[in-house]
């Protein structure tokens, strides 16, 4: 008998005192015991409270960037011990290629969020959303939207099929946001989740209470949730529905989002007939979606929507590819490319769904529901009675709009092949899925793609357009990427919160904040027009250690002459008529006559504000939000005010970024141009020397 899988709660490993109620998890290929799982007796209220108190406190001492650096260290630790995770995943039926999705995919999520966090989030703990709104004529009353972290715990309930990637795509953004996580993996693969959590614990880098793991079922956990907590659920639509209707969500203010099952589609364009690169890419992708994780992917293709005349070609091509490439068997055996489903229960569940599809008019075009011959761990070939094996199955329907084909999820290596006559009909078929995570389209015809985009985008969280140019580089139909939305409308759960910085913000509360420029500067760490400024030493002489937001330089004035404009025009080659031809310029509705180039003004502004000697300012890394407002005519004067707006030290470098507020005005104090100047500045003066 195997040991009971521990949970990691309150910063310690825990196993139930009473082992009698533990669920036994079996090897997917052999039926041998792998783990016993139970959370019986765990005090769930205490676990959640530990996150809300200890976890919130420890994460609260870290900035976004410090948390991002930790994510990278977690990713490195997991990378070093990847093989352990691969080996363990084989018990769940995962081949090496499957683990590329789950293990490497999960590690990739951590790396991506780490780098996004350092590039796209500020260095502090408050995230500013959108521009400043000026709410009084004199600028003394402003409004802004800010995001601050939720005060509770992120309960992440996961499905069995991706015990690592599925969990880490939620943990990473919650951690970055500063919200402690409680991971609840699905029982059939809880041992893989336990392994990656153990690796993170063993780094010694996890802030106290920031990550807890519950191994085992916890049907009553929602009773302990409250306002400020957030649930990220992944699993079946029926479980999601049940959990969503819990009163803690309905009336208790607990945030709940779900990524659920989804009858995803893949459309073969009418132009993509056999022999085209798009047809080949389509078939390759369909095969990959049928066989990777034995089709147990929320994003897998469940409906192949193809021109009526191409149905036979597609089925024949998939059959040929299976013969050529698919080796079904125990992932422990070398050469196996497709493993079993996670359990016999799951296989039987899939067979029930297939029977339901057949009862509704579906007929098997490819594959058999009989136990297949497979490669066993020792290399022998035969039927593995205790293994959850199933061949890839394609099911055809005479009537492509048969409701079951669009509603029944056979969560295994199963797809329906549905013929269409027009692109519009193909779009209608896609929408019958009731909302999906992803639809892919193989076409080299932008017209077909545009028609489909306008008709099916609203039914999907993600669309992949596959053509000869991206067929090789595409990450594929079934692979959500951490940069982009993962989730989908309707049946897919209604979520779109995973992927990118929006996933971090999902764990935070957006609040409108009103106040004076001085107050908003103090609250956000970002200088606002109208707040106090300091004009002592030239700010370019100050290292990050000395520089403060509000440090400012007010330049002298400079007169613009016609000669200057012509010199600049000939020097740069920018002879645009507004600078060179008085009559044409005057005829233009925006100019009084010939005017100075905007780029001349910006260049001069730099000349007016820089301090030229070597010092802590290392480089100009760009301009943002540049707007030219009032044209400048020969004889006008300009001057610039440059104010340190935001200071972002880099965690792992000896320098940081300073964003400067730059405002150019003319002799009448009218706004000529406004923009942000971005510079890299040394943390200490010695670094710059």
The residue among 55 and 185 lying less far from ligand NAP, judged by its C-beta, is 185
Could you tell me if 159 and 189 are in contact, meaning their C-beta atoms sit under 8 angstroms apart? no
State in angstroms the smallest separation of the CB of 463 from ligand NAP: 16
Cα distance between residue 575 and residue 492, in whole Å: 56
Is residue 194 within 8 Å of residue 213, measured between CB atoms?
A: yes
Nearer Cβ to ligand NAP, position 126 or 355?
Answer: 355
Residues 419-458 interacting with ligand NAP (rule: CB under 6 A): 437
Q: Residue from 22, 70, 154, 157 that binds ligand NAP (CB under 6 A)?
A: 157
By CB under 6 A, residue 161 contacts ligand NAP: yes
Least distance to ligand NAP, CB of residue 437, Å: 5
Q: Is 574 helix (H, G, I), strand (E, B) or coil?
A: coil
Picking from 573, 567, 674, 586, the residue whose alpha carbon sits closest to that of residue 633 is 586
Q: Which lies closer to ligand NAP via its Cβ, residue 296 or residue 543? A: 296
With 0-12 / 13-18 / 19 or more C-beta atoms within 10 angstroms meaning exposed / middle / buried, residue 92 is: buried
Q: Which of 169, 194, 289, 298 is catalytic?
A: 298
From the candidates 194, 259, 278, 391, give the one annotated as an active-site residue.
259
**What is the C-alpha separation between 567 and 577, in angstroms, rounded?**
14
Taking the C-alpha atoms of residue 526 and residue 122, their distance in angstroms, rounded to an integer, is 10
Q: Which is nearer to ligand NAP, 460 or 524 (CB)?
A: 460
Among 160, 196, 279, 628, binds ligand NAP (CB under 6 A): 160
Does 7 engage in binding with ligand NAP (CB under 6 A)?
A: no
Can residue 496 be called a binding residue for ligand NAP (CB under 6 A)?
no
# chain residues binding ligand NAP, by CB under 6 A: 28
Q: Which is nearer to ligand NAP, 391 or 409 (CB)?
A: 409
Strands (E), 158-287: 181-184, 211-213, 230-234, 255-259, 264-268
Asked whether the CA dihedral 150, 151, 156, 157 is positive or negative, the reply is negative
Among 28, 107, 164, 186, binds ligand NAP (CB under 6 A): 186
- Interface residue with ligand NAP, options 63, 101, 181, 260 (CB under 6 A): 260
User: Active site includes 324?
Assistant: no
Question: Of 289, 409, 636, 661, which one interacts with ligand NAP (CB under 6 A)?
Answer: 409
Compute the least distance from the CB of residue 226 to ligand NAP, in Å.
Answer: 16
The strand pair at 7-9 and 127-134 is best described as: unpaired
CB-nearer residue toward ligand NAP: 114 or 296: 296
Choosing from 134, 239, 584, 588, the residue that interacts with ligand NAP (CB under 6 A) is 239
Bridge partner list, 8: 13, 213
E-only strand ranges, 287-406: 301-307, 363-366, 373-375, 381-383, 393-396
Binding flag, residue 353, ligand NAP (CB under 6 A): no
Rounded to 5 degrees, what angle do the CA atoms 105, 110, 111 make? 95
438 closest CA partner among 493, 369, 384: 493
* Residue 674 CB partners (closer than 8 Å, separation 6+): 625, 626, 627, 629, 661, 662, 663, 664
The single-letter DSSP state of residue 33 is E
Tokens of residue 246, six digits: 């819990």
Q: How far is the CB of 381 from ligand NAP (least distance, A)?
A: 30
| Residue with Cβ nearer ligand NAP (417 or 485) | 485
Contacts of 43 (CB under 8 A, 6+ apart): none
Name the one range near ligand NAP by CB under 6 A: 213-221, 385-393, 452-460, 590-598.
Answer: 213-221
Answer whether 153's CB lies under 8 Å from 51's CB: yes
Q: Dihedral of CA 6/7/13/14: which sign?
A: negative
- How big is the chain, counted in residues? 689
- Contact range with ligand NAP by CB under 6 A, out of 151-159, 388-396, 518-526, 596-604: 151-159
Which of positions 304-333 make contact with ligand NAP (CB under 6 A)? Answer: none
Near ligand NAP by CB under 6 A, which window of 154-162, 282-290, 360-368, 525-533? Answer: 154-162
Residue (33 or 424) nearer to ligand NAP, CB: 33
* Closest residue by Cα to residue 489 from 448, 454, 530, 439: 439
CA atoms within 13 A on the CB side of 41: 13
DSSP per-residue string spanning 512-569: EEEE-HHHHHHHHSS--TTS--B-SS-GGG--TTT--TTBEEE---EE--HHHHHHHH
Stretch that binds ligand NAP, among 256-264, 302-310, 386-394, 444-452 (CB under 6 A): 256-264
The residue number with the shortest CB distance to ligand NAP is 235
Interface with ligand NAP, residue 213, by CB under 6 A:
no
Q: In the set 27, 102, 259, 467, which binds ligand NAP (CB under 6 A)?
A: 259
Residues 218-237 that bind ligand NAP (CB under 6 A): 218-219, 221, 234-236
Q: Which is nearer to ligand NAP, 105 or 235 (CB)?
A: 235
> In 168-209, which ranges are E strands?
181-184
The least distance separating ligand NAP from the CB of residue 411, rounded to whole angstroms, comes to: 5
Rounded to a whole number of angstroms, the minimum distance from the CB of residue 417 to ligand NAP is 20
Indicate which single residue of 229, 261, 289, 636 sits in contact with ligand NAP (rule: CB under 6 A): 261
Q: Could you give the CA distance from residue 220 to residue 224 in angstroms, rounded to a whole number?
A: 8
Question: 26 vs 601, which CB is nearer to ligand NAP?
Answer: 26
Residue nearer to ligand NAP on the CB measure, 224 or 594: 224
CB of 234 to ligand NAP, least distance (A): 5
158 binds ligand NAP (CB under 6 A): yes
Q: Which stretch binds ligand NAP (CB under 6 A): 73-81, 94-102, 260-268, 414-422?
A: 260-268
259 tagged catalytic: yes
191 near ligand NAP, rule: CB under 6 A: no
The angle subtended at Cα 561 by Cα 629 and Cα 568, nearest 5°, is 80
Using DSSP, state whether 208 is helix, strand or coil. Answer: coil
**Nearest C-alpha neighbor of 134 from the set 644, 528, 526, 525:** 528
Rule CB under 6 A: is residue 298 a binding residue for ligand NAP?
Answer: yes
Q: Residue 344 or 562: which CB sits closer to ligand NAP?
A: 344
Judged by CB under 6 A, the residue of 184, 224, 284, 406 near ligand NAP is 184
Lookup result for tokens 């992917």:
297
Nearest distance from C-beta of residue 256 to ligand NAP, angstroms: 11
- Minimum distance from CB of 246 to ligand NAP (Å)? 8
Tell me how far the alpha carbon of residue 407 is from its chain's centroid. Answer: 27
Name the one range near ligand NAP by CB under 6 A: 155-163, 515-523, 529-537, 625-633.
155-163
Residues marked active site are found at 259, 298
Residues within the interface to ligand NAP (CB under 6 A): 157-162, 166, 184, 186-187, 217-219, 221, 234-236, 239, 243, 259-262, 298, 409, 411, 437, 493
């Amino acid at each position: 008998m195997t040991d009971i899988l521990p949970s990691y709660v309150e910063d310690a490993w825990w196993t139930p005192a009473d082992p009698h109620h533990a669920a036994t998890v079996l090897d997917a290929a052999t039926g041998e015991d792998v783990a016993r799982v139970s959370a019986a007796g765990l005090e769930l209220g205490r676990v959640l409270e530990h996150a809300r108190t200890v976890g919130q406190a420890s994460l609260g001492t870290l900035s976004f960037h410090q948390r991002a650096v930790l994510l990278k260290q977690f990713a490195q630790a997991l990378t070093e011990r990847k093989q352990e995770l691969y080996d363990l995943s084989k018990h769940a039926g995962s081949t090496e290629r499957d683990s590329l999705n789950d293990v490497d995919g999960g590690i990739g999520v951590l790396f991506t969020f780490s780098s996004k966090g350092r590039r796209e989030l500020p260095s502090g703990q408050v995230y500013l959303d959108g521009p400043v709104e000026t709410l009084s004529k004199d600028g003394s009353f402003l409004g802004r939207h800010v995001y601050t972290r939720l005060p509770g715990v992120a309960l992440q309930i996961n499905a069995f099929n991706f015990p690592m990637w599925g969990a880490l795509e939620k943990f990473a953004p919650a951690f970055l946001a500063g919200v402690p996580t409680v991971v609840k993996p699905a029982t059939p693969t809880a041992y893989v989740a336990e392994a990656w959590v153990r690796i993170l614990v063993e780094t010694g880098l996890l802030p106290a209470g920031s990550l807890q793991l519950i191994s085992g079922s916890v049907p009553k956990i929602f009773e302990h949730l409250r306002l400020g907590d957030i649930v990220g659920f992944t699993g079946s639509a029926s479980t999601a529905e049940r959990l969503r209707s819990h009163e803690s969500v309905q009336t208790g203010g607990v945030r709940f989002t779900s990524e659920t099952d989804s009858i995803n589609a893949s459309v073969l364009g009418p132009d993509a007939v056999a022999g085209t690169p798009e047809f080949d890419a389509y078939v390759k992708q369909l095969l990959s979606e049928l066989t990777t994780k034995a089709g147990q992917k929320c994003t897998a293709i469940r409906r192949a929507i193809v021109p009526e005349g191409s149905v036979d070609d597609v089925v024949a091509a998939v059959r040929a590819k299976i013969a050529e490439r698919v080796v079904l068997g125990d992932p422990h055996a070398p050469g196996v490319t497709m493993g079993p489903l996670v359990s016999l229960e799951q296989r039987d569940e899939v067979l029930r769904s297939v029977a339901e599809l057949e009862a509704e008019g579906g007929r098997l075009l490819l594959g058999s529901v009989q136990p297949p011959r497979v490669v066993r761990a020792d290399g022998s070939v035969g039927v593995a009675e205790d293994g959850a094996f199933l061949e890839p199955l394609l099911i055809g329907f005479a009537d492509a709009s048969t409701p079951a084909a669009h509603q029944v999820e056979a969560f295994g290596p199963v797809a329906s092949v549905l013929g269409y006559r027009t692109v519009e009909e193909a779009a209608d078929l896609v929408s019958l899925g009731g909302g999906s995570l992803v639809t892919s389209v193989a076409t080299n015809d932008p017209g077909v793609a545009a028609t489909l985009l306008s008709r099916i985008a609203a039914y999907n969280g993600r669309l992949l357009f596959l053509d000869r140019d991206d067929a090789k580089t595409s990450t594929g139909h079934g692979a959500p990427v951490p940069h982009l939305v993962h989730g989908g409308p309707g049946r897919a759960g209604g979520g779109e919160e995973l992927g990118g910085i929006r996933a971090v913000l999902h764990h935070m509360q957006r609040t409108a904040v009103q106040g004076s420029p001085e107050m908003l500067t103090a609250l956000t760490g970002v200088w606002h027009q109208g707040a106090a400024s300091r004009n002592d030493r030239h700010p370019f002489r100050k290292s990050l250690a000395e520089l403060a937001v509000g440090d400012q330089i007010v330049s002298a004035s400079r007169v613009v002459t016609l000669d200057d404009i012509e010199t600049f025009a000939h020097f740069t080659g920018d002879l645009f008529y507004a600078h060179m031809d008085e009559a044409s310029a005057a005829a233009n509705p925006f100019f009084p006559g010939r005017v100075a180039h905007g780029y001349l003004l910006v260049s001069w502004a730099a000349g007016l504000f820089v301090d030229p000697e070597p010092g802590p300012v290392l480089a100009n890394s760009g301009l943002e939000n540049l707007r030219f407002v009032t044209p400048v005519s020969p004889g006008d004067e300009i001057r610039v005010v440059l104010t340190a707006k935001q200071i972002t030290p880099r965690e792992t470098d000896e320098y940081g970024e300073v964003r400067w507020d730059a405002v150019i005005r003319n002799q009448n104090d009218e706004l000529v141009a406004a923009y942000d100047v971005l510079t890299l500045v040394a943390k200490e003066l010695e670094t710059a020397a």
